[in-house]
Structure formats: C-alpha cells, structure tokens
Amino acid sequence: MERYLSAVLCGSLLLGMASIPAPTFAHGGEDHGDEAAPKPAVLAPASAGVRLELQSPDVELLGILHDGKLTLYADHFATNEPIPSAKVELESKGQKLALQTEANGMAEVAAGWLSQPGHYEITATVQAKGVNDLLIGTTDIPPPDAGTVEKPWWNFWGSQLQDMLLPQAAWAHGGEDHGDEAKPTAVPLPATARAVPTRLPDGSVFMPKPAQHLLGVRTVLGKVQAVAQTVQLNGTVVADPNASGRVQPSQAGRVIAPPAGFPAVGSRVESGQVLAHLEPSASNIDKGNQQEKIAEARSELALADKNAARLESIAGVIPRMEVDAARSTADTLTARLQALQGSLVQQPEALRSPVSGIISAANIMQGQQVAAGETLFEIIDPNQLQVEALAYDPALGGQVTGASALTADQKTLPLEFVGSSQQLRQQALPLWFRIRASNAHLSVGQALSVAVQTQASLQGIPVPASSVVKNSQQESVVWTHATAERFVPHKVTVLPLDADMVVVTDGLSGTVRVVTQGAALLPQVH
C-alpha cells in the first residue's frame, strides 16, 4: 500500500512542478536533519493562498485562504489525527466565522473579510468530543499585488511549547508580539508547493494537509526520559512442561484403535480421554513359564487343602491356631493360582491422554507392535507455551525486569520471566519466559527475537520502531513534525527498547512530534 501511495505522491509532484523552474533541492537524497536550521517562515505567492496556523498542546489548526474562502483543517496536535465534527469559531476585528469539520477534520466557509490585507489578531475556540480548547495568534494578509512576500506560517506558540519545537519564534501566549526578538529565517517555496509535496532546500519536506490525510501520516509526542536498558536475544518457542504430555505404553504389545479411531494430528483431546488400546504380547517361553508356575501352585494348593482338612478333623486335640494357619495357607495358594491363570488371558490396556490440548505428533497405526516406553502421541496446549532464550552474559538472569518477543511477521508477544538455569549450555545461560498472549498461533521450535529489559536505565526518547527509516546513506533517520505542513529529518542513534519500540539516544532532544505512520514515504519526496 505504501509503495502505491508513494507512486501517486511522486506522480502528483511531477505534474505540479512541470510548469515552473526547478528549485534547488537537497541533492542525492541528502539528509540535512542534523543541522541546526532555524524554523522557517515561508515566501508564499498570493496566488497560492495564505496559510494560517494555530497550535496548542491539544489542537493544531491550519487555515488556507484562497479566492475569498477559508479551508480549515483541525487535527490533534500530538497524533496528527483529524478531529471529526469539531465546532470551530474564529474571531478577529469584531468579525466571526463558525465552522464544523466533517469526518476528515476539514471544513470550508466563505471568509471575504479575513482575506482583506492587514494585520489580524485571531482567537479560535475548538469544541469536539474530548476537546475544548482556546487558541490565540496573529497573522498578516498581504495585498493582492504584493507578489511574493515574507509570510510566517504560524504566529502563536503557547508558553508550554516555546521551548519544545520553536524556541526562537517571536510569539508568546496571549498573542503577545515580542518584535525585538529574532525572527525566523525565510525559506522560499514555489507556488505549486502549496498543492503538492515538495523537498525543501534544507532537506525538510513540505507535505500539504490533504496529502497527509491521504497518506495517513500519524505522529507521537516523544520526550527525553529514563527507560530500561534492553538486551536482544535469540529465542525459541518450547512446550510448557505443565501443559504438555506424551502417551507411552508401560509394556510391549499391539495397539488397537478405540471405537472412534485414533485422533489425528491437530485434533483436540481432553485429559483422561482414551486414545488407543494396547494388547500386551507374550512369547511362548513366557507362556510356558506361566503354565509351569500354575502347575506348581495347583500342587501346593492340593497339599494345603489336605493338610487343612486333616487338622480340622482333630481340632479338639490340637490347638485351634494350627487349624487356622493351615486354612489360611490354602486360601493364599487359591488366590495365587487364580492370579496366574488370569495372567494367561491378556486384557487390553487403555492408553489415555495425560493433559488437555492438541495432538502435535502421532506415531501409531492399527495393529502396530510397540515397545515399552515408545512415544505414540505428543499433546501440547497451544495457549500455554514458553520461550527459551540464550544469554551470553551469565549476570543477565538476575537483572530481568520485563520482556517481549517479536515474530517473523512482526507480531509482538508479551512475556513473563519464569527463571534462569544455573548451568551454561554451550557457554550460554538459558532463560525461560511464559507467553502471556492467548491464541498467539505459535509452533514449538519457532524462532523469535526476544527483547529483555534489565534493571539498568538510560536516557532517551522512546518511539515506535516503525518511526526509524533509512536514508540514501543507510543511516537511521526519524522525521519530526515541525509545523503543520513541514517535516524535518534527523539522523539518530537508536537502541531496542522492546519488541516494537526503540529509544533514540542521540539526534533528538526536548519534546518533539515524531512521525510513526507514513515515515517511510517522506524520504521519497524529491
């Protein structure tokens, strides 16, 4: 999808730029994000329309004045998501404009009085679900014949944001203008850059709001903070010993299917369910030995019965104890003979599932002869799996505070630390984690990338891993949302934080809006 949108983006740029002299862009896809360039004002031709930008910690408003109409875009400041059904009221010089945004956060209204040349102090109120904000700023509307005039994009910064994004801007809270302070440096833009994405001479990108909405550009507000230091390990999915089992016969014999047949691989079984029957097998020698023992038992029983009968006949002469002992011996031999005779008739043994789960392996066929201890079925509960990771730092086992795993298809799995071995395996320490996500659709033996958070900490800005892209020199770059329609690249140093987050340790400072969705498309604007 991103490749398709990129083609549309670049095609629109070529059509828009075909009729104007080519401006000087950053050559070769060069990244100037690490240069301390001041935040620009814009030399905007009047024919391209005037941009009015107001921002607060919650709301970002962008107005475009053209041909007596005002097109307004209302977005959440932190995420760049449109604010649907927002009621917006603009007031300046006793005049008011009332608008209500559509589902895409855009509204359009006639604003002839606001198009008149002059200096305007603007107050804006925004009301929507979860939003109730007041914005104040100023702007200058150039005369129609002014041609190209210096026009700042945005004239207001709340006191909470002055040190965040535009520390050199000359606008204070309440619309105060400290004119004696340094003004932003002007960066010229071609007139058609108002409608199409454009790479600016300083390496930043001008991305109009309509294009941002089309591409779904989203941001996250990041700030420097202490985060846990993370170690990346290679892991493997293993079965939980408490939720998996094997079916093995206790003696040799021939297997017979139950009435419903053998369960197939992948079928669900319950604990105690009969999976197969085993007919114990005995050799002729074994049978001969049993018959010999039966004969001996019969002979001993006959003598015991005669002895017991003789003693009972003289019970009045001898002690009663001797009579009872003789009868007990005869009863014992009778029970032994019955047991030996029953052993010649082999009863099938029921082989039952030790746990509830899924049949993951089956090595069985009807009539198959099996040995004692041979594995016939393996059962695994897919909702109770574990991950084994190998750490080459033996001290890591005592420093784990959290962990997560990333699959090959970029799916994140939360992990719970179970414990570590006290014995090295090929100079590595095995660590075990329990997968807390249910229905993770994993297979035993599947390889994972495990991010282990430790007790050590470092300073940086945590951002989603999707925010980091590569420039033409294969350097790690993140894009920040500097103003409503301007994005600036920064070369950064990142370290993994967890399975889908990284921490920027160098290249960014303070509090910034970092592009998360659509970051891979911005470098393709030339």
- Strand 131-141 versus strand 511-517 pairing type: unpaired
User: What contacts 24+ positions apart, CB below 8 Å, involve 111-119?
Assistant: 111/65, 111/68, 111/69, 111/70, 112/68, 114/65, 114/70, 114/90, 114/141, 115/65, 115/68, 115/141, 116/141, 117/141, 117/142, 117/143, 117/144, 117/146
| DSSP 8-class letter at 220 | E
Are 493 and 439 spatial neighbours (Cβ–Cβ below 8 Å)? no
Q: Which of 312, 298, 306, 305 is nearest to 331 (CA)?
A: 305
- The CB density around residue 82, as the number of other CB atoms within 10 Å, is 19
**Distance between CA 465 and CA 182 in Å, rounded?**
37
Q: How far apart, in whole angstroms, are the C-alpha atoms of residue 254 and residue 281?
A: 7
Contacts (Cβ under 8 Å, ≥6 apart) of 288: none
pLDDT in tens, the chain (526 residues): 444 334 333 333 333 333 333 333 333 333 444 433 333 334 333 334 578 889 999 999 998 888 788 899 999 999 999 999 999 999 988 888 899 999 889 999 888 777 788 888 889 999 999 899 999 888 888 776 544 433 333 333 333 333 333 333 333 333 333 333 333 333 334 333 346 888 888 889 999 998 999 999 999 999 999 988 888 899 999 999 999 999 999 888 899 999 989 999 999 999 999 999 998 876 566 667 777 787 888 888 888 888 888 888 887 778 888 888 888 888 888 888 888 776 665 678 899 999 999 999 999 999 899 999 999 999 999 888 999 999 998 888 888 998 989 888 888 889 999 999 888 888 899 999 999 877 778 889 999 999 998 988 889 999 998 999 998 888 999 999 999 999 999 999 998 888 788 999 999 988 999 999 999 999 988 8
Q: Identify the burial level of 273 via C-beta atoms within 10 angstroms of its C-beta, where 0-12 means exposed, 13-18 middle and 19 or more buried.
A: middle
> Residue 318 burial by CB count (10 A; 0-12/13-18/19+): exposed, middle or buried?
exposed
- Packing angle between helix 284-313 and helix 320-343, nearest 10 degrees? 160
